[in-house]
């Protein structure tokens, strides 16, 4: 399998070499010294592993950015209940497609990470929750799991050490909300994917009401390298409080869209103009979404920001899942906001009021504006609706729907006012997506 849209920096990245050498196949991974780190980790104590991961400044790469080592340390000691490791492979954030590459090209790196993380939290059962649409990745991953069992890498005695670990692959049924960790847990338990109220956090009461760690595919896949080369090595690659490399999924109007494994803290300008080859057709950049569709967009003058969790939140956006979406000067941002809001409306689980009713309401208002039937008060009303959702919901989906609305309105307000006044962008230069459906620019 080749990965023509996978790129990295001159140093070669951390996971990219494994993906390029098809480490979804066991013998390829073993040739590269696969599972040796797991063997080493199993001889370490759980506390040593957690310490090493804490030192590495590895943050949760699913989007929330919670320090991985600290999360693991929340598992209660001397619990009489079993502990579970759950891998979140329900990659659903629009603009993000990196876990797919890791699964399809480096399944065994993920499995090795699972062995190490399980040992760190004393879990003997791991569930991988993969999004339903990932049919081929699920097939590849299941094959890798089967091969690992056959090679006695998983099962009753992992690598002959006597440590038992079972790994189960569970396919979701296509709900974005099941990427939220507690909804994912509910779904794994066979229930409707409704997020739970916190606390208790999953580390105390998660899957089957037992202590559970939920980590993203990418996060866990970096663990073998950290244990192999040391936490400090990883930490140095990134920024002060956010270590290592990570995958940036770059899409939109760039010359070379793709998945880029780059050091954390690479500037957005470098990613867009150096790695992704700049804006298509020599056009000007109008807006860029830095971390998946739920993150507030940036204006062209803001792209010198370093791409790490702290730098982006300092300027009022988020790194999230690092799904970078670039939009050129011809893009109608009302259209962009419409499809974004429609997505969150469609994916709202319906459990709590602000998100259930607010997402649908915003969708209706924006769609009406896109039809050219907007009113000037709609712009403020939209912000009020979004503010009513923001922070008032059970899970972050409400915020995910409200943040882009607030972000676009704040940074590109004139465009929305233009739609409200004239029914189109910029006094008639462009018509909206719905009006010109079928003729894509």
Partner 1 sequence: MPTITIDGKSIEVEKGTTIMQAADKLGIILPRYCYHPGLSIVGQCRICLVEIEKMPKLQVACYTPVTDGMVVHTQSPKAMRGRKDVLEFLLVNHPLDCPVCDQAGECFLQDYYMKIGQYDSKMVEDKNKKHKALDIGPHVMLDSERCILCTRCVRFCNEISKSNELGIFNRGDHAELLPYPGRRLDNPYSVNTVDICPVGALTEKDFRFEARVWYLKQTDSICPGCSTGCNISVHTNTVRDHHAESRRVVRLKPRYNAEVNKWWMCDFGRYSYKPVDEATRITAPMLKHGDNWIATTWQVAIEAIADKIKKALPQKKSGQIGVWASPQMTNEDLFVLRQFTETLGINHIAMTVTPRERPFSDNYLIREDKNPNTRGAIALGYDTDMQASRDLYRLAFDRLLSVLFIFHHDLTLGFEAEHLAAALGNVPTIIFIGPNRNATSEFAHILLPAAAWPEKDGTFTNFAGRVQRMRAAVQPLGDARTEWMILKRLGKPLGLSVPYVEAGDVFAAIGRNVPAFSGLTYESVGSFGVMLKS
Transcribe 375-405 into DSSP letters: -HHHHHHHHHHHHHHTT-SSSTHHHHHHHHH
Torsion sign across C-alpha atoms 297, 302, 308, 314 = negative
Q: How far is the CB of 332 from partner 1 (least distance, A)?
A: 21
CA distance 73 to 140: 32
| Per-residue interface string for the shown chain with partner 1, residues 289-328, x marking contact by CB under 8 A | ----------------------------------------
Torsion sign across C-alpha atoms 279, 399, 345, 181 = positive
Q: Which residue has the tokens 């209706």?
A: 364
Residue ranges in 348-387 that form contacts with partner 1 under rule CB under 8 A:
348-354, 356-361, 364-365, 368, 377, 381, 384-385, 387
CA–CA distances in Å: residue 55 to residues 170, 235, 236, 316, 384: 32, 7, 10, 27, 42
Structure tokens at 191: 């229930």
Among 282, 293, 390, smallest CA distance to 330 is for 282
- H helix or E strand, kind and range, residue 323: strand 323-328
Residue 152 or 368 having the CB closest to partner 1: 368
Q: How many residues does the chain have?
A: 441
Residue 306 or 356 having the CB closest to partner 1: 356
Span near partner 1 by CB under 8 A; candidates 32-40, 69-77, 145-153, 347-355: 347-355
Q: How far is the CB of 358 from partner 1 (least distance, A)?
A: 6
Residue 111 or 318 having the CB closest to partner 1: 318
Q: Which of 169, 175, 379, 420 binds partner 1 (CB under 8 A)?
A: 175
The C-alpha angle 320, 169, 31, rounded to 5 degrees, equals 85
| Per-residue interface string for the shown chain with partner 1, residues 127-166, x marking contact by CB under 8 A | ----------------------------------------
Q: How far is the CB of 361 from partner 1 (least distance, A)?
A: 5
Q: How far is the CB of 373 from partner 1 (least distance, A)?
A: 10
Query: If binding is defined by CB under 8 A, does position 402 make contact with partner 1?
Result: no
| Per-residue interface string for the shown chain with partner 1, residues 180-209, x marking contact by CB under 8 A | ------------x----x------------
Interaxial angle between packed helices 98-121 and 36-43, expressed in degrees from 0 to 180 and rounded to the nearest 10: 30
Residue 232 or 377 having the CB closest to partner 1: 377
DSSP alpha helix (H) spans, 56-194: 68-73, 98-121, 135-150, 181-188
Q: How far is the CB of 106 from partner 1 (least distance, A)?
A: 33
Residue 5 or 392 having the CB closest to partner 1: 392
Give the binding site for partner 1 (CB under 8 A). Answer: 175, 177, 192, 197, 345-354, 356-361, 364-365, 368, 377, 381, 384-385, 387-388, 391-394
């Amino acid at each position: 399998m080749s990965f023509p849209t996978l790129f990295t920096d001159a140093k070669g990245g951390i996971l990219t070499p494994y993906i390029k050498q098809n480490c979804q196949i066991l013998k390829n991974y073993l040739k590269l010294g696969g599972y040796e780190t797991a063997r080493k980790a199993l001889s370490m104590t759980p506390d040593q592993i957690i310490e090493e991961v804490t030192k590495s400044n590895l943050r949760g790469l699913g989007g929330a950015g919670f320090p991985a080592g600290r999360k693991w340390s929340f598992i209660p000691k001397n619990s009489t209940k079993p502990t579970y490791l759950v891998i979140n492979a329900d990659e659903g954030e629009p603009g993000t497609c990196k876990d797919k590459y890791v699964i399809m090209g480096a399944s065994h790196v993920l499995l090795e990470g699972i062995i190490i993380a399980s040992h760190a939290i004393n879990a003997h059962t791991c569930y991988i929750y993969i999004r339903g649409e990932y049919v081929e990745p699920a097939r590849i991953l299941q094959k890798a799991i089967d091969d690992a069992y056959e090679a006695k890498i998983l099962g009753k005695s992992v690598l002959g050490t006597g440590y038992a670990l079972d790994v189960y692959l569970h396919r979701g049924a296509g709900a974005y909300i099941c990427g939220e960790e507690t909804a994912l847990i509910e779904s794994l338990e066979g229930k409707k994917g409704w997020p739970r109220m916190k606390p208790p956090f999953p580390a105390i009461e998660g899957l089957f009401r037992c202590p559970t760690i939920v980590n993203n595919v990418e996060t866990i896949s970096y663990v073998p390298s950290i244990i192999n080369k040391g936490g400090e090595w990883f930490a140095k690659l990134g920024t002060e409080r956010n270590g290592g490399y990570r995958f940036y999924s770059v899409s939109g109007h760039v010359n070379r869209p793709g998945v880029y494994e780059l050091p954390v803290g690479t500037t957005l300008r470098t990613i867009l103009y150096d790695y992704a080859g700049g804006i298509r057709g020599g056009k000007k950049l109008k807006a860029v979404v830095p971390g998946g569709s739920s993150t507030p967009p940036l204006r062209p003058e803001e792209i010198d920001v370093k791409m790490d969790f702290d730098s982006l939140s300092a300027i009022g956006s988020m790194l999230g899942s690092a799904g970078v979406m670039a939009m050129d000067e011809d893009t109608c941002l009302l259209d962009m906001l419409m499809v974004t809001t429609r997505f969150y409306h469609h994916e709202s689980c319906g459990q709590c009021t602000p998100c259930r009713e607010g997402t649908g309401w915003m969708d209706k208002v924006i769609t009406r504006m896109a039809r050219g039937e907007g009113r000037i008060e709609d712009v403020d009303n939209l912000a009020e609706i979004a503010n009513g959702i923001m922070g008032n919901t059970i899970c972050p989906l409400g915020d995910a729907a409200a943040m882009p609305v607030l972000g676009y309105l704040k940074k590109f307000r004139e465009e929305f006012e233009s739609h409200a006044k004239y029914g189109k962008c910029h006094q008639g230069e462009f018509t909206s997506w719905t009006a010109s459906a079928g003729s894509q620019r």
